[in-house]
Chains A and B, each alone.
Chain A
Amino acid sequence: MPARTDITSILILGSGPIRIGQACEFDYSGSQACRVLREYGYRVILINSNPATIMTDPEWADATYLEPLDAETAAQVIAKERPDALLAGLGGQTALNLAFELAEAGILEQFEVELIGADLSAIRKAEDRQVFRALMIENGLDVLQGLVVRDVSDLPGGLVPAVVRPAFTLGGSGGGLARTEEELTQLVARGLMASPIGEVLVEESVEGWSEFELEVMCDAAGNYIVVCSIENIEPVGVHTGDSWTVAPQQTLSDPEYQRMRDVAFACVRAVGLANGGANVQFAYKPDTADLRIIEMNPRASRSSALASKATGYPIAKISALLAVGHTLAELPNDITGKTTAAFEPAIDYVAVKAPRFDFSKFGIEEPTLGTQMQSVGEALGLGRTFPEAFLKAWTGIESADQRPEFKGANDYFVSEIASIAAAEHDLIATGDVTAAKRFGLRDQRIAALLGSTELEIRERRQLPGALAVDSCAAEFEAETPYYYLSHEAGDPPPARSEKPRILILGSGANRIGQGIEFDYSCVHAVRAFTEMGYEVIMLNSNPSTVSTDYDTSHRLYLEPVTLESVLDVFEIEEPVGVVVTLGGQTPLNLVASLSSAGIPLIGDPGWSIDTSEDRERFAELLKSAGLLAPNWATAATPEEVMRAAGDIGYPVMVRPDYVLGGAGMRIIRSPEDVRGTGSVLVDQFIENAIEVDIEILSDGVNGWVAGILEHVEPAGVHSGDSACVMPGPSITEPREDAIRRLADVIAGQLKVRGLLNLQLAIKGEEIFVLEANPRASRTVPFLSKATGLPLVAWACQLMMGANLSAIGHPDKAVPTQSWAKEAIFPSDRFATGGDRGPEMRSTGEVMAGGLTAQAAYTRALRMAGVSRDRGTIGPSLQELSRARVLQGSP
């Protein structure tokens, strides 16, 4: 196929740590690009500071740099690797801004690097709001009326209500809606600080208008297509990342939609995007037919990931191929295998995206949504009716306490949502489970309404069908491995191989404490089980992940990670077992119910999970093994807390039972600090101890330590929020030996098969066991990268019954150099966002290498934007692993 042969190597920029507004969707888009460009024979160089990503695994690129995403560093990588081209459109706003900076600074010209995909002129036209506005007006396209402001004193009166948008920021950071002159002054001042170029746009407010987004693709031959239309249920005023959204759009008539499509193309054409993907956001007032372009992004985005998963059209992959000179009509639609990429998907279901919020983590009791994004994750629901898709998305975000209000939503959505309550009434009146299922009610809700159990409801209903996401509404026979479930006749099942099957449960919507790291483990497990001769089926509802890429597993089910969906997929696919230990707490919460439903769990983790989570049993286990643990007690009232703390001795740590990410945890130093009610655990708090994270591989009898991470912060800061270094300067040889012995004992006692994470506090000679998590932990990707060892693959072998002696691990896991990780906090969004404490608040992390732990940590601080310390790039991951091979170590 003709593609550009004048380019042989391409630099791809990642998006860095997970932040609100820029999350794992860019791992999905970046890894697609890396893979397909390498398949087409290009040498791929990658810079990304986020260790939790799949794309930074050494096998995804030819040279991978875990380095800061800034111009100085990128220039060093360019000077060393001399790429022919730079592809920035798949790494979010971070990558686009960096590419812009490199071009402006003359670095690309100096090293003869061509910006492919969106070029400098297109980036400037789309990103500079003033230029964009002028361009749209020049082309006769309606944009929001607005005024560019560089100083608060430039503000004329009479602008409110108005929206303040700082230039060159992501996720609406630093912006907002001003209803009074006073608010406007404040917001402009804040926006000027947030904008890297000190510029904000004050725009007419279209609050309350309907909001739409079109995902556009274009190629060098001048072809334009819309992959997907997305409609926000919440009108303009709520950031699109915080809105519930629906694809395809539901409320526009065909002429209204075609008008929007024509305007979107005109907009992309005016910006001059040569090829690739872009999204165009619109505000529309149906009663007056007023249409405004809100903005256009010449790159892959959160919504393009959503559009890809909602339609089956791989936007990032196709964008990467367009960037190297292909045209849409040349590229195959690999879902149908027959048609080409030059088409607009027709879908025969509805996709609803629900945002996940973690306000309680930041002490926000009455959250208000606005133009600044606050959600930390999302879940997608696919269904044949709106309620079916809506309820799947709702289930997928697992936050039943946060009832969305849908203020100002279109009557269509209001009536569809109201129909759910009507269907529930019908169910109570008639007891017709079949009708309820076809409508889209979930088993658990039906059981609650009928005073029954989920498993009883299951008995009373048919198995749903598996319906293919085929991009063509069944018009053509599809070869897609991508399905959702609905209570209709399913598509004919694909020809099964003779291989046994394994079902892996993903981690659902991202949230604080459960993010992309778990997707990393799941995706690695897919590969590991495939290599072991299994067919691997993935179940997950997070549209932004690599695990929900239909190319990742043999078959993908986009379904909420719930008992209902797992049992349904289990019955349809008949796997030999289900993996619950790699997707974080969400699949782990299903262990008891899956076990009682007789579902075989790979690695048989039920007993070790119960034992490690049951404080009494775990304390007993440690005691009998002669190991230390903090003293503890349970308490139900403040008086009991005070009594327990008196017995244990202050300070104590107080937390609700069974929590994820330290929700509600506090350190209490005196009786005066005691407050609150509810059942809590009171733990001895070991002050000024060194805290360490241990990752262990276990075969049920013995445990092998794959890594010891020393926290930079003392014990008391949540492990997910702590900076860590490896090897740890405090981990002396005697301490390391003691840890290894302890790990071996606990692994054997807990009978863990696979991964086991321990958290320890070291004070002098004493080592206290804080907790044991018999599952993949947040640190697995960091550790895999630091050691270059296939930890998840080995864990999968152990889960399937292999002994430690059979997996070929080295005697000691030695890191390739010193490594550090630093947590990234949403302090730009929430007042308490940057506080380090027992409750986890960070959204992501960065990883840096160096010759010493100190050097690595310093570099990590720079990546986190905390320090401006100068430094130079280290070796690529591939160079480190080559060096290791040359040294003869495993």
Chain B
Amino acid sequence: MQHISINIHLVLEDGSVFPGTSVGARGTVAAEVAFTTTMAGYQEAVTDPSYRGQALVFSYPLIGNYGISEAAAQSSTAQTRAVVMRQSRPEWSRWLDSQGVVALSDVDTRSLVRHIRSVGAMRCAAGEGDVSELLDLALAEPHIDYGRAVAEPELTMPPLALEVAVERPYQVGSGPTVVVVDLGCKRSVVRSIANAGMKAHVVPGTYDAGRILELAPSAVLIGNGPGDPAQLVDQVETIQRLLGNVPLFGICLGHQLIALAVGMKTFKLPFGHRGSNHPVHETKSGRVLVTSQNHGFAVQPAGGVSVTHVSLNDSTVEGIKGDGFNSVQFHPEAAPGPTDGIGFFEEMGKACRRVPTSQAS
């Protein structure tokens, strides 16, 4: 039992202060604050590399109810810099501590979510110490939004995606090869490819088109990951070289990069889409998919590229399709969240079977 409660704070860059109790690692961190409305799947969220560099606020107040499990992990480690909760269960708190994650409990998270929703995504700092020091720390944090970072060059940072990408290639499953370009790809994406009867050949996000094509893939998936897609200039170029040579698929960040590669633009959403209940209209079937989402940036619609999925909440682009590419903004692999979009991997399987592997070599 944690009887000594240490009061710590979350301070946002606009100066607002949210007090809480420390339940994770000691220390102080700066991050970008983001909230998720998912009600279960806390461990999946915290280990999702797309949350790299963020202080994640759970709008659901009771976190850690069913413990932790290795199967839930989406990467080998916690990715969030801080976790902000209304109430945290002891086992979960201990795990956050063991992962070195600064964690706040007893926070009025509803007020915090409301604030983020109305002001927008912000930098923040969390931990012990003086509130004004935390504010300074928050303001010194690089912008995740590349456009803003360029305007303040001292706040530029290397792309987060390259921080979390795998260093060595590995393979999972059997069947036609899908090269997964890892920019912080969740384990469940790799697992879903294998489950759909394909071999996932996961490679670092720094692989160029030549190295990827050398692997004779039947398809290439650009996976999810953190940060602003506009910063990943090399990867966009890689995708442009792959286009037309191999069927391309994208999820989340991968979708945004494909969009940039085909000449579309991306922009930062006011406070992102993060949760397990995002309704998406699938234009072809007329169906609504309830999807798992985790993205701070989105693709601007442009002429010439057909939009396959649209958010029912704010009408933003949730999927695009064109000659040789097919990508979705939401997470068809779920984890956490509903599996309504799992058909994406079946389409990938179909594409693999259509294309003879010899074509690439």
Give the interface of A toward B (CB within 8 A): 221-223, 225, 248-255, 257-258, 261-262, 328-329, 338-340, 342-350, 384-386, 412, 438, 467, 472-477, 488-489, 491
Binds A, one of B94-102, B162-170, B274-282: B274-282
In contact, A342 and B114 (Cβ under 8 angstroms) = no
- CB-CB < 8 A to B60: which residues of A? 346-348, 473
Contact present for A254 and B40 (CB under 8 Å)? yes
Partner of B41 from the list A254, A261, A474 (CB cut-off 8 Å) is A254
Closest chain A CB from B343 CB (angstroms): 13
Instruction: Check B39 against A346 for contact (C-beta < 8 Å).
Output: yes
CB pair A474–B59 under 8 Å, yes or no, is: yes
Q: Is the CB of A221 within 8 A of B286?
A: yes
Interface residues of B in 338-354 (CB under 8 A from A): 338-339
A339 CA / B37 CA spacing, docked (Å): 15
Select which of A252, A474, A475 is within 8 A of B40 by beta carbon.
A252
- Nearest-CB distance from A671 to chain B (Å)? 60
- Complex: A286 Cα to B155 Cα, angstroms: 48
16 pairs, CB–CB < 8 Å, chain A vs chain B: A222-B287, A225-B290, A248-B39, A254-B41, A254-B334, A254-B336, A257-B40, A258-B339, A329-B279, A329-B288, A340-B312, A343-B277, A438-B106, A472-B37, A474-B114, A475-B117
CB distance from B111 to the nearest CB of A (A): 4
Closest partner residue, chain B, to A413 (CB atom): B65
Once the chains bind, are A261 and B117 in contact (CB under 8 Å)?
no
Chain B residue nearest to A345 in the complex (CB): B277
Say yes or no: A385-B87 contact (C-beta < 8 A), given A348-B110, A350-B61, A477-B117: yes
Q: How many A-B residue pairs have CB under 8 A?
A: 134
Binds A, one of B6-14, B66-74, B129-137: B66-74
B117 touches A252 (CB 8 A): no
CA distance A339 to B35 in the complex (A): 19
Interchain CA distance A225-B276 in the complex, whole Å? 12
CB of A565, distance to nearest CB on chain B (Å): 19
CB-CB under 8 A from B336, the residues of chain A are: 254, 258
Alpha-carbon separation in the docked complex, A489 to B86 (Å): 13
Give Cα A707 to B22, complex, Å: 65
- Nearest CB to that of B61 among chain A residues? A384
The answer to whether B277 touches A346, judged by C-beta atoms less than 8 angstroms apart, is: yes
Q: Could you tell me if A385 and B61 are in contact, using CB atoms closer than 8 angstroms?
A: yes
Greatest chain B CB density within 10 A among A222, A350, A488 is at A488
Instruction: Report which of A250, A328, A475 forms a contact with B59, defined as CB distance below 8 A.
Output: A475
Contacts A249-B40, A348-B59 aside, 6 further interface pairs with beta carbons under 8 A come to A254-B44, A329-B279, A343-B277, A474-B59, A474-B117, A475-B59
Tell whether, in the assembled complex, residue B37 and residue A473 are in contact, meaning their CB atoms are under 8 Å apart.
Answer: yes
Among B38, B110, B118, the residue within 8 A (CB) of A488 is: B110
List the 10 shortest-distance A-B pairs measured between CB atoms, nearest first: A254-B41, A346-B37, A254-B336, A473-B59, A344-B277, A342-B288, A254-B40, A473-B37, A343-B279, A474-B113
| A347, A384, A438, A475, most chain B CB atoms within 10 A | A475
Output the nearest chain A residue to B280 by Cβ-Cβ distance. Answer: A342
A118 CB → nearest B CB, Å: 21
Report the Cα distance A489→B106, complex, angstroms. Answer: 13
For chain B, the bracket of interface size reads: 35 or more
The residues of A that contact B38 with a CB separation of less than 8 Å are: 254, 346
Alpha-carbon separation in the docked complex, A342 to B288 (Å): 7
CA distance A438 to B20 in the complex (A): 13
**A222 / chain B contacts, CB cutoff of 8 Å:** 287
B65/A251 in contact, CB under 8 A: yes
Per a CB cutoff under 8 Å, which of A345, A350, A476 touches B117?
A: A476
What CA separation (Å) do A254 and B313 show in the bound complex?
Answer: 23
Check B59 against A254 for contact (C-beta < 8 Å).
Answer: no
A426 to chain B, nearest CB (A): 10
Q: Which residues of B contact A474 (CB under 8 A)?
A: 59, 110, 113-114, 117
CA A347 – CA B313 in complex, angstroms?
16
User: What CA separation (Å) do A412 and B91 show in the bound complex?
Assistant: 12
**Chain B residues within 8 Å of A, Cβ to Cβ:** 35, 37-41, 44, 59-62, 65-66, 69, 71-72, 86-87, 106, 108-111, 113-114, 117-118, 275-279, 281, 286-288, 290, 312-313, 334-339
Enumerate chain B residues within 8 angstroms of A491, measured Cβ to Cβ.
Answer: 110, 114
A475 to chain B: closest residue by CB:
B37
Q: A339-B312, A346-B39 are in contact. Are A253 and B69 (CB under 8 A)?
A: yes
Residue of B nearest to A348 (CB): B59
Is B312 a contact partner of A254 (Cβ separation < 8 A)? no
Q: Which residue of B lies closest to A385 (CB)?
A: B87
| Chain B residues within an 8 Å CB radius of A438 | 106
In the complex, which residue of chain A has the Cβ closest to the Cβ of B68? Answer: A253
**Inter-chain contact A348/B61, CB cutoff 8 Å:** yes
B290 and A343: CB pair below 8 A? yes
Look across to chain A and name the residue whose beta carbon is closest to the beta carbon of B336: A254
A262 to B109, CA, bound (A): 30
Asked, given contacts A475-B275, A477-B117, A488-B108, whether A223 binds B287 with beta carbons under 8 Å apart, the answer is yes
Q: Shortest CB–CB separation between residue A310 and chain B, in angstroms?
A: 12
Q: Which residues of B contact A344 (CB under 8 A)?
A: 276-277, 279, 290, 338
Contact A343 B338 (CB under 8 A): no
Minimum Cβ distance to chain B for residue A828 (Å): 38
Most buried by B among A250, A253, A385: A253
| Residues of chain B within 8 A of A488, CB atoms compared | 108, 110-111
- Once the chains bind, are B339 and A475 in contact (CB under 8 Å)? no
Task: Name the residue on B nearest A412 (C-beta).
Answer: B65
Cα(A253)–Cα(B71), bound, Å: 11
Once A223-B287, A248-B39, A346-B37 are accepted as A-B contacts, the answer to whether A329 and B61 lie under 8 Å apart by CB is: no
In angstroms, Cα B314 to Cα A402, docked, is 49
Q: Which residue of A lies closest to B71 (CB)?
A: A255
Query: Which chain B residues border A249 with CB–CB below 8 Å?
Result: 40
Task: A254 to B177: give the CA distance in the assembly, Å.
Answer: 29
Q: Is the CB of A475 within 8 A of B66?
A: no
Residues of B within 8 A of A345 (CB): 277
Cβ–Cβ < 8 Å partners of A328 in chain B: 288
Q: Are A254 and B335 in contact (CB under 8 A)?
A: yes
Specify which of B110, B276, B287, B335 lies most central, judged by the most chain A CB atoms within 10 Å of its CB.
B110
Task: Give the most central of B37, B279, B335: most A CB within 10 Å.
Answer: B279
Chain B residue with minimal CB distance to A259?
Answer: B339
Given known pairs A261-B338, A329-B312, the reply for A489 and B108 (CB within 8 Å) is yes
Give bound CA distance, A472 to B71, whole Å.
Answer: 28
Chain B residues whose C-beta falls within 8 Å of the C-beta of A343 in the assembled complex: 277-279, 290, 312-313
Which residue of A221, A255, A340, A477 has the most chain B CB atoms within 10 A of its CB atom?
A255
Q: Tell me the complex Cα distance, A144–B69, Å.
A: 29
The answer to whether B65 and A348 touch across the interface, beta carbons within 8 angstroms, is: no
Asked if A253 meets B72 with Cβ closer than 8 Å, knowing A348-B61, A475-B117, the reply is yes
A348 to B334, CA, bound (A): 21
Q: How far is the CB of B234 from chain A (nearest CB, A)?
A: 34
Question: Are the C-beta atoms of A250 and B290 separated by less than 8 Å?
Answer: no
Q: Is the CB of A386 within 8 A of B108?
A: no
Contact A386-B312, Cβ < 8 Å, known A257-B40, A343-B277 = no
Q: Chain A residues near B335: list those with CB within 8 A.
A: 254-255
Q: In whole Å, how far is A334's beta carbon from the nearest beta carbon of chain B?
A: 15
Determine how close the nearest CB of chain B comes to the CB of A437; give it in whole angstroms.
Answer: 13
Decide: A258 near B338, CB < 8 A? Known: A342-B312, A346-B60, A473-B60: yes
Cβ–Cβ < 8 Å partners of B277 in chain A: 343-346
Q: Inside 8 A of A255's CB, which chain B residues have their CB?
A: 71-72, 335
Chain B residues near A248 (CB, 8 Å)?
Answer: 39-40
Q: Which of A254, A347, A350 contacts B72 (CB 8 A)?
A: A254
Tell me, in angstroms, the Cα distance from A384 to B110 when the chains sit together: 9
Q: A329-B288, A348-B110 are in contact. Are A385 and B62 (CB under 8 A)?
A: yes
Q: A255-B335, A346-B39 are in contact. Are A412 and B66 (CB under 8 A)?
A: yes
A533 to B339, CA, bound (A): 50
| Contact for B113 among A340, A347, A384, A475, CB less than 8 A | A475
> Nearest chain B CB to A91's CB is how many angstroms away?
28
Q: Contact: B281 with A348, CB < 8 Å?
A: no
Is B37 a contact of A250 with CB atoms below 8 Å? no
Cβ of A253 to closest chain B Cβ, rounded Å: 5
Pick the contact of A258: B35, B114, B334 (CB < 8 A).
B334
